Amino acid sequence: MSRSKKVLWLIPILWGLSGCMGPELPGTQEGVFVVWKTPVMRYADQGFLYREPSRVRLEVYASGQAVMKLSVTPEQVCNGALCMDKKSFNLRFLSPEYPPELLDHLLKGEPIFGGENLVRKDHGFTQRIEKEGRYRIVYTVLNGSVAFRDTINQIVIEIKPQG
């Protein structure tokens, strides 16, 4: 086989291999301490928060084992291998009163409920949101830490960067 035929034969192989390995997707990974208390899920341990263009993932570890793996995309939330639409996730794990995009905004440290009652601070913001008998929320994002508390639904979600 001539040298030019060998080179032409290698090009598709190398191109295919580079596609499999592909460039790393832009995103961030940070070590976090997570407190997650809801009526059906309770965790308080170290973990990782991954922010990627198409999804956000939160993993919590205990004794070196992943005990909680949440992945949020624009379409759904996956809790381990169990995937469901966001409204169903809220119904099962949080509160049916919450908007579907709530968890996505919490994990990204963004305002919730369309920015309702938003009070900006030097390095973040606070929101106090209440609907009589449905939820009473205090949500604070400050210096990269997220604290979400709903006293009516007994939900606490805190994510604090480590390091």
Q: What is the pLDDT of residues 60-94, one digit of tens each?
A: 998 888 899 999 999 999 998 899 999 999 999 99
Q: How many domains does the chain have?
A: 1
CATH number at residue 55: 2.50.20.10
Give a yes or no: residue 91 inside a domain.
Answer: yes
Q: What is the pLDDT of residues 29-65, one digit of tens each?
A: 999 999 999 999 999 999 999 999 899 999 999 888 8
The confidence score (pLDDT) of residue 21 equals 38
Q: Which range of residues forms the domain containing residue 33?
A: 27-161
Give a yes or no: residue 2 inside a domain.
Answer: no
pLDDT band, very low/low/confident/very high, at 2 (cuts 50, 70, 90): low
Give a yes or no: residue 60 inside a domain.
Answer: yes
The confidence score (pLDDT) of residue 8 equals 42
Give a yes or no: residue 7 inside a domain.
Answer: no
Share of the chain above pLDDT 90, in %: 76
Give a yes or no: residue 5 inside a domain.
Answer: no
Give a yes or no: residue 81 inside a domain.
Answer: yes
pTM, two decimals, is 0.81
Strand order in the sheet with 145-150: 82-85, 76-79, 65-72, 56-62, 42-51, 28-37, 155-161, 145-150, 135-142, 124-131, 118-121
Give a yes or no: residue 21 inside a domain.
Answer: no
DSSP classification of residue 100: T
Average confidence score pLDDT of the chain = 87
